[in-house]
Amino acid sequence: MADNSSFKTDRGAGGETHQHVPKSADHQTAEHLTTNQGIRVSDNQNQLKSGPRGPVLLEDFVLREKIFHFDHERIPERIVHARGSAAHGFFELYESLSDITKADLFQRAGEKTPLFTRFSTVAGGAGSVDTPRDVRGFAVKFYTQEGNWDLVGNNIPVFFIQDAIKFPDLVHSVKMEADRGFPQAASAHDTFWDFISLMPESTHMIMWAMSDRTIPRSLRTIEGFGVHTFRLVNAKGVSTFVKFHWKPKQGLQSTIWDEAVKIAGADPDFHRRDLFEAITSGDFPEWELGIQAFDQAFADSLPFDVLDPTKFIPEELLPVRPIGRMVLDRWPDNFFAETEQVAYCPANIVPGVDFTNDPLLQGRLFSYLDTQHSRLGTSNFHQIPINAPKCPVMNFQRDGHMQMTQPKGRANYEPNSLSDQGEIGGPRECPVTGFETFPSADDASEQGDKLRIRPESFADHYSQARLFFRSLDAPEQAHLASALVFELSKVEIAAIRTRMLGNLVNVDPDLAKRVADGLNMPLPKASPTAAPVLDMDLSPALRIISGPLDLDTLKGRKVGVLIADGSDAAEVTAVTTAVAKAGGKAMIIAPRIGGAKLSDGTLLPADGQLAGTPSVMVDAIAVVLSEDGCAMLLKEAAAVQFVMDAFGHLKAIGHSAAAKPLLDKAGVEPDEGVTDLGADFIAAGGKRFWDREPGVRTLA
Ligand code: HDE
């Protein structure tokens, strides 16, 4: 072995392993490697042996401890939402909400509350890819001065089921099939659609799940929702119903399915990397927190039950009032310690916020403590720094695995009179400032016999599914129908497909027909419904494409600038400067990572190698090539595919005149999104050109 810095021989001098040899143990500092007992380690390269080739000695406690700890590095992953990425940040209140809530974080305009937000996919394991078609978790832990409040939501405002007792069935059905162990992170398989087709209440959520919402471009471009109806309670004890919304300042943007599939191969960590790069480069993602606040009379006026988690309140009926903003400005120091060990729980609420009787929420309140215990292995998981409240925690709970606190005195019970003796008596309850459950029954639903039934008011499973589908823009409707065709085409049992089509007829006969045609199957009769299907007023606010959050901006987006030897230096500079000025990030892509020699003789290093950086990784492309450079790239499949995919994924393509042959070979046809490298390209860069779509793929 040439490098002996990590290799100690038995042949004397050459075996010194460390350049820095501390003189004495008196100066034990952070630079010295130690065991977990604080013993300084002399050699971290070689285990203790009897003789140079001899057996390893059992007494090698340094080796034993190191391997022991390593062997136990993995902990059980989350049963759902295993794959996630998180960041620190703060919530800043716009104006006092003291009229509707006494929650401390909502009292003083301008006040900032630290928080930790974790985004996740639901179905895949911790090592699965970032871009499957899946719901995204959107969980926020607010470290308020009156304790932790966890708003554990999703990027979709409704859910698959109405009753917690169905959750294990739902999750079993979507996860890998029990006998074969596949597919990973995919709902496109028999058991999921079998369950869904038998559960009409999931139809509304299925519309959302098959829409472009579940293939987001970035975690920075998703909305978040608290899903359930919660309560805010003010100092007078008056309750207001509330739905929570997170609106991304970056806009709402999704990928195209073909793109999402290709990203999965090109960069399985696409979303995590994107969030990491944005935060570490100072482009802090931001969301506005908004509320839909309403009273019982408003709730009674709706044609559905606000306790039913398969329903949402259209913004056209009740606008979302922005109340503050969340900025994510710090990436965690350590993924495991923070992102993996963070333990959210919908039951973590603060005085001024309260639950409703939503039966799904009630089930969740019960469930999350269990999961954290089995995942983190101790009832003291709240003491892990990422979970610990940033206000004092004082009670008589004691002991348990991994107890980190050392309470003084003998008062571990209450009431006690020990303080009368000058001893520590411990904390006491406070009827004035302590959390008090809002006493009122939700429209008397707390009274009555013990029953295992669903209320009649939960019986309509199709009206909002119809409302959702019909509110979308035409391209989004086509994507949704095509997603259903894709997923159901992976279902092997034909009867499941037919049953699903019967449910879709109730949603919208045209949608059902399009899906049936896409499957090349006959359209069955509508399945029976438990309540009449209503034609509700449409909600254009639900659209991603041409909706209120369709920003068409280059801000926070990436432009891939494809160069090769001979590319015009002035053109490259002009386009990268203009992209930066528009708030975007130019990524230089060249055949080799070392870069390409530009027309002025300078070597411009690349940010990505062409073969490893397909255009799915960026939002728009600029192809800046000389005649010779273009001639060379015409023979590179990766270059042709780069341009072909950008066109197929409806992205803007700016190009130098000499790059035209590459565009021709990639089948690029002229349209508004195909421009020169000037201002037109910058204007087009943040857009997708939906008119192009019918020419590049057949949609249902
Ligand atoms: Fe969860 N859910 N869930 N869930 N959920 C978990 O808790 C559960 C539901 C959501 O980033 C688990 O720590 C039940 C709805 C998010 O760490 C577990 C029911 C919504 C996250 C659990 C639901 C969510 C979880 C798994 C039906 C949207 C990730 C690991 C009664 C409003 C949080 C864990 C993170 C995680 C149970 C339904 C959101 C097993 C029983 C509805 C964002 O406790």
Q: What is the per-residue pLDDT across 200-236, written as a single tens digit (0 to 9) for each?
A: 999 999 999 999 999 999 999 999 999 999 999 999 9
Amino acid 448: pLDDT: 81
Q: How do residues 265-323 score in pLDDT, each as one tens digit?
A: 999 999 999 999 999 999 999 999 999 999 999 999 999 999 999 999 999 999 999 99
- Cβ neighbours for 611, distance < 8 A, ≥ 6 positions apart: 591, 638
Asked which of 47-56, 111-120, 126-135 is least confident by mean pLDDT, the reply is 47-56
- Name the residue of 75, 77, 79, 81 to mutate for ligand 1: max ligand atoms within 8 A of Cβ: 81
For the residues 477-506, what does the mean pLDDT come to?
Answer: 98
Q: How do residues 558-579 score in pLDDT, each as one tens digit?
A: 999 999 999 999 999 999 999 9
**pLDDT at residue 674 above 90?**
yes
Residue type at 27?
Answer: H
146 vs 348: CA distance, rounded Å: 11
Amino acid 190: pLDDT: 98
Write b or e for each residue in 551-570: b if 16 or more Cβ atoms lie within 10 A of its Cβ, otherwise e: bebbebbbbbbbbbbbbbbe
Confidence of residue 7 (pLDDT cuts 50, 70, 90): low
Q: What is the phi-psi region of residue 133: left when phi exceeds 0, alpha when psi lies from -120 to 50, beta otherwise? A: beta
Q: How wide is the angle at C-alpha 431 spanned by C-alphas 430 and 433, nearest 5°?
A: 70
Amino acid 330: pLDDT: 98
In the chain, what's the furthest Cα-to-Cα distance?
93
Q: How do residues 576-592 score in pLDDT, each as one tens digit?
A: 999 999 999 999 999 99
Burial of residue 37 (number of CB atoms within 10 Å: 0-12, 13-18, 19+)? exposed
Ligand 1 atom closest to the Cα of residue 118 is: 11
**pLDDT at residue 500 above 60?**
yes
CATH topology of domain 558-695: Rossmann fold (3.40.50)
**pLDDT at residue 24 above 80?**
no
CATH architecture of 84-157+216-306+313-383: Beta Barrel (2.40)
Residue type at 464?
Answer: Q
258 vs 163: CA distance, rounded Å: 34
Amino acid 660: pLDDT: 98
For the residues 469-485, what does the mean pLDDT come to?
Answer: 98
- Name the residue of 75, 77, 78 to mutate for ligand 1: max ligand atoms within 8 A of Cβ: 78
Amino acid 442: pLDDT: 56
329 vs 311: CA distance, rounded Å: 33
Strands 112-121 and 84-93: antiparallel
**pLDDT at residue 20 above 90?**
no
Q: How far is CA 89 from CA 118, 182, 392, 486, in A?
A: 11, 37, 21, 38
Strands 230-233 and 112-121: unpaired
The answer to whether residues 146 and 430 touch, using CB atoms and an 8 Å cutoff, is no
Please indicate whether residue 39 or residue 448 has the higher confidence score (pLDDT): 39
Confidence of residue 30 (pLDDT cuts 50, 70, 90): confident
Cα 80 to ligand 1 centroid, rounded to whole Å: 7
Strands lying side by side in the sheet with 620-623: 608-609, 585-590, 558-562, 620-623, 653-655, 674-675
The mean pLDDT of the chain is 95
**pLDDT at residue 444 above 60?**
no
Amino acid 440: pLDDT: 75
Residues with CB under 6 A from ligand 1: 78-81, 84, 118, 120, 137, 139, 152-154, 159, 164, 167, 227, 343-344, 360, 363-364, 367-368, 371-372
Residue 452: count other Cβ atoms within 10 Å of its Cβ: 6
- Cβ neighbours for 388, distance < 8 A, ≥ 6 positions apart: 382
Residue 666 per-residue DSSP state: T
Asked which of 27-36, 103-112, 638-647 is least confident by mean pLDDT, the reply is 27-36
Percent of the chain with pLDDT over 90: 93
Amino acid 381: pLDDT: 97
Residue 62 per-residue DSSP state: H
Residue 340 per-residue DSSP state: I
96-101, Cβ contacts within 8 angstroms, sequence gap of 24 or more: 97/232, 97/323, 98/234, 98/235, 99/234, 100/232, 100/234, 100/238, 100/240, 100/293, 101/232, 101/233, 101/234, 101/240, 101/352, 101/353
**pLDDT at residue 143 above 80?**
yes
Indicate the pTM of the whole model: 0.94
Domain with CATH 2.40.180.10 in the chain: 84-157+216-306+313-383
- Residue reference for tokens 């990928």: 255
Domain with CATH 3.40.50.880 in the chain: 558-695
198 vs 214: CA distance, rounded Å: 22
Amino acid 631: pLDDT: 98
Annotated active-site positions, please?
Answer: 81, 154
- Cβ neighbours for 544, distance < 8 A, ≥ 6 positions apart: 211, 212, 213, 252, 253, 254, 473, 476, 550
First to last CA, the chain: 62
Q: What are phi and psi of 692, to 5 degrees?
A: -70, -25
Ligand 1 atom 44, closest CA: 368
Ligand 1 atom closest to the Cα of residue 370 is: 44
